């Protein structure tokens, strides 16, 4: 007998979501209620209670979304995308600047970050694009269109002066393409530039060696000379361009921002400050941590942005390796779980929607935790579900809720393979 | 295996690799290097604050508080944490122009942007409290509370106390193992220097949590690792504040030094060096102007003349001559010498006041006959004579608790060989018999000698501190003063000489005595080829049971009888009776009017009246 749709709600995902959000609330509380908190900005001092309200709102949004019919999301995909782009443009035209990014819209007392909310519409649209076209006729055209759907918001967000968030949109592309049916070789070529670029920042010869090895591997994997050459050109080109940009093109302060994580002591009082303080916080947490509200780095507000972008340092300091590794595992489980939920349905839309969501979550986690522990450049993006930020929490919860909804109602989709 | 499963596995692999890489980094930070980063975070957030101990208090012999401490507030800025937009606020609170704050801030930045520098010292309390209320708006701004010495009792006693100053780089080098740190205070002279180990106490430690702006937020581990400071030992001096105040007043316009000693135990009752200075000048932060002024002043107000500046003792030396003569058997109390007003040894050596006729040693002392002592000197063996000097403390450093002392000079043949390489004759020795020539004795040495005459032969170690007691434990410090020394001269000879000194005061119309108190003493005049002679007096009272022995030197002020003797008399009366009511007014006038050559118009006195002048006041009237 077929189960009622609500019997199929994936409680595990819901539990993971609640656990991660609670982790975040605990960390935000600790970061804003210590003895040094009176010196924080007034707005930051209230972050905990506001995040608590946002968590409740997110839960409400999730309930509403779970009640919607499955078809609704495909129907609304393109309108939602259009709405999202309007939001970003609106913020660009009428919004206010916070931390240098003009991505904020104010509706009464509520401030909304357009670039976070627009993720929902963008992923809906791109999942719909790849998920509804049945004939394999123009894979290339569809791919270009799909990438275009991602690049448009990314470009607009760069105009908002929020390169970090734009990078997330671009970074999610390979994940969607990976599940969209295009050859793995193309996906591999798409993944190679960020890796080559990262290596070029760390050590240019390694990046060049990587590019060569990557091209050789691609040749033996595909036996197509053109693919190998394309790999070499794209990976090697990224490495070379990065090296050129760092030495010749960029201003010293821009270079400093990018490379300071490699040798933060050299930039102790400028761009290395975040890295040094976050590293000291996490490292001093040790195996078991200093205990809730006991972290000196956290309580004395040494780590900048510690309730938002650097929230992971609070967990690392106060809950130690056990706490931070635990949180990473929760996030890892959640991502795998979301993909599995998508794959349970035989229709392409839920799979691609899950892929897009997880792609965005993955890039967020990798870059955010990477910068906090000092292996990535400091790119100001939040840790999903954990960092303070209402728009991000609502947007991420919406994405998760849509996956749950599509999974609950997976039988309402016609079965066909992607 | 379907393509979907492959994709899923690849995806899971990617997630695991990513999480694995981040986890590896976490292990690197939190497991392998945890200790290093624990240290880093501690360095960051925990600040060691050394709390200065309260320096020991100083009381006079009657328990009158003389020196204690008052807090001073220094405003510090750590430029890196300071917000330049707050300059107007800070300037307004401090009541100084913006430009002053900006200039001090620039200086501090040039020194170190990351360390707190004192940019305003000795901020008045009401300004301190006003700034304190606004500290939350002033990140990077803090106060350091220091103590500075605060003086009471109506005395300056600057050369007794000495002064305290922030430890210098060089002093720190040799005192690090004693626990001194940069910014600590160190006694630089006087008692503050010699009793530094007792006065200092032990500084405390407070561990404070600081936030990212360098603001102290709370104590570390609820203060469980803090150590409270231990106050320094309180000193009770042998100084009588009223006597000290009187002598200080009497030395107006005079150069020289005076010391009063209790002949029963060597306690210094008063010690003055003039010109002196107001000790408040060197308390707390000292302006360049004051510091340079004191150091470059030709009257040398920082120099302790009572213990470091000597003159030939003049006739005050005659009792010593008589004692040596009697003890060595060169003369007896009955031996007479006839004075015709002049003594010949190669050339004539003059007596004073004409011919004294035939004299015994008692009368020779009473009348201060030079010819008697020229004769005695030439009858003595020079080298044996020289060896008697140290028995009385001449030519040797007095064992005292004041750090600035010199040995002075009592010559011997080795000295003459050095001083006169082209040869010398016995004729060079004649004047030594009356305390002139190559001889240097400090007021402290002369007072010690006067005390030994008073007690008939015991040479005490003169000292200014009676006790030093730890206020926490009540324990007394023992400083191990050198024990008293018995001069190997028969008491009957002392009686002979003391009798001469008694007659000198009581049978002359001396300004020293008052009422029916029996005083003994001897005036002296050190001849000075370069100007006015130096005026000496030494003596003791009461004659039968001496309680005070004094030595008074007024440089370039003429005969001993005219200036030094009145001062000595007033000192004795003050100490023994608590007032100077019984001395006739003309003696007080003599004492006050006497002036050292070159200081008639108050030259060299500006540092003792510095604050009076600053406040537009003039010190007037005699003290108690």
Question: Among B3, B19, B39, B83, which would you mutate to test the A interface (most chain A Cβ atoms within 10 Å of its Cβ)?
Answer: B19
> Whose CA is closest to B10, among A343, A324, A296, A37?
A343
Between the alpha carbon of residue B66 and those of residues A235, A319, B156, B414, the distances in Å are 84, 58, 9, 46
Residue B38 tokens, joined: 């624990």
The backbone region for B177, taken as left when phi is positive above 0, alpha when psi lies in -120 to 50, beta otherwise, is alpha
Query: A328 vs B23: CB contact, 8 Å cut-off?
Result: yes
The verdict on a CB contact (< 8 Å) between A300 and B45 is yes
Q: Count other Cβ atoms within 10 Å, centred on residue A66.
A: 17
HSE of B118, CA atoms in CB hemisphere, 13 A: 13
Cis-peptide into B275, omega within 30 deg: yes
Task: Tell me, letter by letter, the H, E, C secondary structure of B9-74.
Answer: HHHHHHHHHHHHHHHHHHHHHHHHCHHHHHHHHHHHHEEEEEECCCCCCEECCCCCEEEEEEEEEE
Distances (CA, A) of B365 to B353, B370, B434, B601: 14, 9, 11, 36
State which residue of chain B sits closest to A289, comparing Cα positions.
Answer: B30
Share of chain A above pLDDT 90, in %: 48
Beta carbons of B25 and A373 less than 8 Å apart: yes
Cβ distance A332 to B15 less than 8 Å, yes or no, reads yes
Nearest-10 crossing angle of helices B98-111, B87-94: 110
Q: Is the dihedral of CA A255, A258, A264, A267 positive or negative?
A: positive
What is the model's pLDDT at position B617? 38
DSSP H or E run through B349: strand B347-350
φ, ψ (nearest 5 deg) of residue B559: -65, 150
Residue of B4, B34, B45 lying closest to A283 (CB–CB)? B34
User: Which of B3, B12, B29 should be substituted to probe chain A, the one whose Cβ sees the most A Cβ atoms within 10 Å?
Assistant: B29
The answer to whether A120 touches A84, Cβ cutoff 8 Å, is yes
Among candidates B14, B15, B22 on the partner chain, residue whose Cβ is nearest the Cβ of A373: B22
Nearest CA in chain A to B3: A181
Within a 10 A sphere around the Cβ of B382, how many other Cβ atoms? 16
SS (H, E, C) chain A: CCCCHHHHCCHHHHHHHHHHHHHHHHHHHHHHCCCCHHHCCHHHHCHHHHHHHHHHHHHHHHHHHHHCCCHHHHHHHHHHHHHHHHHHHHHHHHCEEECCEEEEEEECCEEEEHHHHHHHHHHHHHHHHHHHCCCCCCHHHHHHHHHHHHHHHHHHHHHCCCHHHHHHHHHHHHHHHHHHCCCHHHHHHHHHHHHHHHHHHHCHHHHHHHHHHHHHHHHHHHCCHHHHHHHHHHHHHHHHHHHHHHHHHCCHHHHHHHHCCCCHHHHCCCCHHHHHHHHHHHHHHCCCCCCCCCCHHHHCCCCCCCCCCCHHHHHHHHHHHHHHHHHHHHHHHHHHHHHHHHHHCCCHHHHHHHHHHHHHHHHHHHHHHHHHCCCCCCCCCCCCCCCCCHHHHHHHHHHHHHHHHHHHCHHHCCCCCC
Provide, as residue numbers in chain B, all residues whose Cβ is less than 8 Å from the Cβ of A339. 8, 11
The C-alpha of B295 sits at a distance from chain A's nearest C-alpha, in angstroms, of: 44
Q: What sign does the CA torsion over A317, A322, A328, A330 have?
A: negative
How many whole angstroms separate alpha carbon B243 and alpha carbon B237?
A: 13
DSSP class per residue in B159-187: HHH--EEEPPHHHHHHHGGGT--TT-EEE
Cα gap A142→A145, rounded to integer Å: 5
Q: Which of A70, B610, A223 is nearest to B602 (CA)?
A: B610
Q: Tokens standing for A410?
A: 């997976």
- Chain A's closest residue to B80, CA to CA, is A269
Q: What percent of chain A has pLDDT over 70?
A: 95
Mutate to test the interface with B, among A40, A172, A268, A284 (most CBs of B within 10 A): A284
Enumerate the residues of chain A whose CB falls inside 8 A of the CB of residue B20: none
Spatial neighbors of A325 by CB under 8 A, at least 6 apart, are B23, B26
Q: Does the beta-carbon distance from A282 to B26 stay under 8 Å? A: yes
Taking CB atoms and an 8 Å cutoff, what residues of chain A touch B8? 339-340, 343
Condensed to tens digits (0 to 9), the pLDDT of residues B350-368 reads: 888 788 899 999 999 999 9
**Of A183-192, A200-209, A261-270, B266-275, which gets the smallest average pLDDT?**
A261-270
Choose the closest CB to B19 out of A269, A332, A339.
A332
Bridge-based pairing of strands B117-123 and B256-261 is: unpaired
**Could you give the CA distance from residue A400 to residue A411 in angstroms, rounded to a whole number?**
19
Task: Tell me the chain B residues in contact with residue A316 when contact means C-beta distances shorter than 8 Å.
Answer: 26, 29-30
**Cβ pair B42:A296 closer than 8 A:** yes
Mind telling me how many Å the CA of B88 is from chain A's nearest CA? 20
Closest chain B CA to residue A339: B8
Q: Shortest CA distance to A99 belongs to which of A55, A54, A32, A160?
A: A160
CA-wise closest residue to B319 among B440, B430, B410, B446: B446
Residues of chain B with Cβ-Cβ distance to A332 below 8 Å are 15-16, 19
User: What single DSSP character describes residue B325?
Assistant: H
B4 chain-A contacts, CB cut-off 8 A: 343, 418
Helix (H) or strand (E) holding B447: helix B443-454
CB contact under 8 A, A335 and B15: yes
Closest chain A residue to B28, measured at CA: A283
- The pLDDT of residue A417 is 41
Residue among A189, A55, A71 nearest A128 (CA):
A71
Q: Are B260 and B244 in contact (CB under 8 A)?
A: no
| Count of C-beta atoms within a 10 Å radius of residue B385 | 23
Residues of chain B with pLDDT under 70: 1-2, 114, 213-214, 560, 612-624
Q: Which residues of A touch B45 (CB under 8 A)?
A: 296-297, 299-300, 302
3-class DSSP state of B2: coil
Nearest residue on chain B to A319, judged by CA atoms? B30
Give A289's contacts (C-beta < 8 A, 6+ positions apart).
A295, A316, A317, A318, A319, A320, A321, A322, A323
């Amino acid at each position: 007998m077929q189960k009622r749709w609500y019997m199929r709600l994936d409680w595990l995902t819901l539990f993971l979501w609640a656990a991660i959000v609670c982790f975040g609330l605990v960390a935000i509380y600790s970061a804003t209620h210590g003895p040094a908190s009176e010196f924080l900005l007034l707005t930051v001092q209230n972050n905990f209670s506001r995040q608590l309200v946002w968590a409740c709102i997110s839960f409400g949004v999730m309930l509403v979304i779970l009640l919607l019919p499955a078809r609704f999301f495909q129907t609304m995909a393109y309108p939602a995308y259009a709405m999202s782009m309007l939001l970003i443009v609106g913020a660009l035209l009428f919004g206010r600047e916070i931390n240098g990014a003009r991505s904020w819209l104010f509706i009464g007392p509520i401030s909304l970050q357009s670039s976070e909310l627009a993720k929902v519409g963008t992923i809906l649209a791109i999942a719909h694009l790849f998920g509804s076209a049945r004939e394999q006729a123009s894979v290339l055209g569809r791919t270009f269109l799909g990438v275009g759907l991602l690049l448009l918001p990314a470009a607009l967000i760069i105009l908002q002066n929020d390169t970090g968030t734009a990078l997330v949109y671009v970074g999610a592309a390979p994940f969607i393409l990976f599940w969209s049916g295009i050859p793995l070789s193309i996906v591999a070529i798409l993944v190679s530039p960020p890796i080559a670029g990262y290596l070029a920042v760390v050590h240019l010869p390694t990046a060049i060696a990587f590019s060569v090895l990557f091209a050789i591997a691609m040749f033996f994997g595909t036996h197509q000379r053109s693919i190998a050459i394309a790999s070499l050109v794209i990976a090697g080109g990224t490495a070379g361009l990065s090296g050129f940009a760092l030495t010749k093109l960029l201003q010293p302060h821009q270079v400093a921002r990018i490379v300071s994580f490699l040798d933060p002591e050299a930039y102790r009082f400028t761009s290395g400050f975040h890295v040094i303080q976050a590293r000291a916080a996490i490292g001093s947490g040790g195996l078991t941590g200093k205990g809730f509200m006991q972290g000196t780095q956290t309580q004395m507000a040494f780590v900048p942005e510690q309730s938002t972008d650097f929230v992971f340092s609070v967990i690392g300091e106060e809950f130690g390796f056990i706490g931070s590794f635990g949180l990473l595992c929760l996030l890892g489980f959640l991502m795998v779980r979301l993909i599995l939920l998508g794959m349970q349905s035989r229709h392409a839309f839920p799979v691609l929607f899950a892929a897009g969501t997880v792609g965005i979550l993955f890039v967020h986690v990798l870059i955010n935790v990477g910068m906090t522990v000092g292996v990535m450049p400091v790119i100001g993006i939040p840790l999903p579900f954990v960092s303070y930020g209402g728009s991000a929490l609502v947007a991420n919860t919406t994405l998760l809720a849509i996956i749950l909804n599509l999974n609950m109602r997976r039988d309402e989709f016609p079965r066909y393979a992607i | 295996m379907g393509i979907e499963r492959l994709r899923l596995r690849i995806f899971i692999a990617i997630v695991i690799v990513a999480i694995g890489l981040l986890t590896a980094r976490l292990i690197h930070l939190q497991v392998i290097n945890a200790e290093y980063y624990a240290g880093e975070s501690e360095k960051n957030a925990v600040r060691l604050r050394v709390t200065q101990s309260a320096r020991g208090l100083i009381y006079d012999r009657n328990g009158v508080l003389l020196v204690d401490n008052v807090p001073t507030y220094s405003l510090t800025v750590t430029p890196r944490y300071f917000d330049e937009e707050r300059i107007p606020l800070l300037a307004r609170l401090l009541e100084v122009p913006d430009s002053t704050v900006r200039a001090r801030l620039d200086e501090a930045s040039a020194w170190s942007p990351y360390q707190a520098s004192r940019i305003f010292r000795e901020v008045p309390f009401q300004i301190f409290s006003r700034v304190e209320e606004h500290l939350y708006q002033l990140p990077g701004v803090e106060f350091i509370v220091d103590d500075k010495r605060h003086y009471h009792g109506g005395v300056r006693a600057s050369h007794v106390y000495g002064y305290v100053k922030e430890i210098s780089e060089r002093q720190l080098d040799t005192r690090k193992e004693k626990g001194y740190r940069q910014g600590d205070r160190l006694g630089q002279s006087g008692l503050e220097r010699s009793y530094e180990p007792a006065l200092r106490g032990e500084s405390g430690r407070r561990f404070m949590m600081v936030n990212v702006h360098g603001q102290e937020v709370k104590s570390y581990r609820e203060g469980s690792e803090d150590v409270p400071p231990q106050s320094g030992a309180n000193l009770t001096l042998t100084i009588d504040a009223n006597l000290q105040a009187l002598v200080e007043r009497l030395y107006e316009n005079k150069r020289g030094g005076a010391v009063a000693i209790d002949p029963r135990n060597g306690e210094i009752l008063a010690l003055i060096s003039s010109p002196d200075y107001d000790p408040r000048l060197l308390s707390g932060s000292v302006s360049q102007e004051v510091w340079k002024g004191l150091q470059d002043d030709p009257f040398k107000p920082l120099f302790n003349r009572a213990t470091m500046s000597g003159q030939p003792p003049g006739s005050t030396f005659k009792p010593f001559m008589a004692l040596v003569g009697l003890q060595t058997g060169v003369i007896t109390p009955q031996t007479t010498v006839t004075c015709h007003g002049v003594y010949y040894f190669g050339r004539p050596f003059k007596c004073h006041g004409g011919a004294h006729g035939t004299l015994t040693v008692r009368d020779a002392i009473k009348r201060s006959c030079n010819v008697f002592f020229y004769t005695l000197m030439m009858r003595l063996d020079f080298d044996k004579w020289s060896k008697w000097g140290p028995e009385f403390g001449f030519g040797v450093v007095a064992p005292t608790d004041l750090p600035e002392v010199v040995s002075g000079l009592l010559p011997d043949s080795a000295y003459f060989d050095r001083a006169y390489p082209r040869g010398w004759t016995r004729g060079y020795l004649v004047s030594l018999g009356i305390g002139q020539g190559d001889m240097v004795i400090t007021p402290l040495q002369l007072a010690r000698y006067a005390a030994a005459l008073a007690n008939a032969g015991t040479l005490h170690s003169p000292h200014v501190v009676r006790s030093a007691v730890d206020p926490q434990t009540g324990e007394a410090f023992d400083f191990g003063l050198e024990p008293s020394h018995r001069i190997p001269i028969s008491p009957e000879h002392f009686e002979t000489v003391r009798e001469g000194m008694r007659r000198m005061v009581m049978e002359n119309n001396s300004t020293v005595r008052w009422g029916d108190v029996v005083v003994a003493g001897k005036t002296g005049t050190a001849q000075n080829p370069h100007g006015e002679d130096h005026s000496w007096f030494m003596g003791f009272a009461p004659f039968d049971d001496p309680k005070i022995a004094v030595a008074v030197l007024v440089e370039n002020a003429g005969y001993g009888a005219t200036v030094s003797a009145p001062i000595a008399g007033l000192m004795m009366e003050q100490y023994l009776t608590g007032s100077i009511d019984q001395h006739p007014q003309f003696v007080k006038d003599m004492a006050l009017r006497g002036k050292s050559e070159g200081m008639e118009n108050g030259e060299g006195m500006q540092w003792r009246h510095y604050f009076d002048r600053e406040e537009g006041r003039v010190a007037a009237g005699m003290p108690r």
